[in-house]
Amino acid sequence: MKLRIGYGFDVHRLSEGYDLWLGGVKIPAEKGAVGHSDADVLLHAICDAMLGALSLRDIGHHFPDTSNEFKGIDSKILLKRTYALVREKGYRVNNIDSMLCLEKPKIKPHIDAMRESIASILEVEMDDVSIKATTNEKLGYVGKEEGLTASAVVLLIGV
């Protein structure tokens, strides 16, 4: 059995007048993430982790922000397309461990919905998707509520 581990990281600016999408779920918030797509940092980090595990470059290579095709796209579509690349290479997701970092809103009430969204796309159980959240203790751009970050580690198994 072949195992491959990948790490992903993403960051987006926060601004009023935008929606906040995290893990494929729209989160009620005063500020949303700004990006070429829906700016879902968690799904982008997971995509990068899967791509990295198989040396398939990064999300920007496959879904460039210079392409109108991806303007405003739902990141769940990007996750589905990334997972199709993983399956084409003969792998499947074993589990994901991820971390969101933002000051507000509080993420805990939305974690199960995010886990369910991700698990259904990646054909795994909810227990195979870990999402944690933390603040930056008011430090830096995250602490000042100017941006948010996500990181993810993914274990892939050859099938």
The two most distant CA atoms of the chain are separated, in Å, by: 47
Indicate the pTM of the whole model.
Answer: 0.97
Each of the 159 residues of the chain gets a pLDDT tens digit; together they read 899 999 999 999 999 999 999 999 999 999 999 999 999 999 999 999 999 999 999 999 999 888 888 998 999 999 999 999 999 999 999 999 999 999 999 999 999 999 999 999 999 999 999 999 999 999 999 999 999 999 999 999 999
Query: What's the CATH number of domain 3-158, 3.50.50.60, 3.40.50.2000, 3.30.720.110, 3.30.1330.50?
Result: 3.30.1330.50
Backbone angles phi, psi at 115, to 5 degrees: -60, -40
The reported pLDDT for the residue numbered 67 is 85
Separation between Cα atoms, residue 71 and residue 66, nearest integer Å: 8
Domain ranges of the chain: 3-158
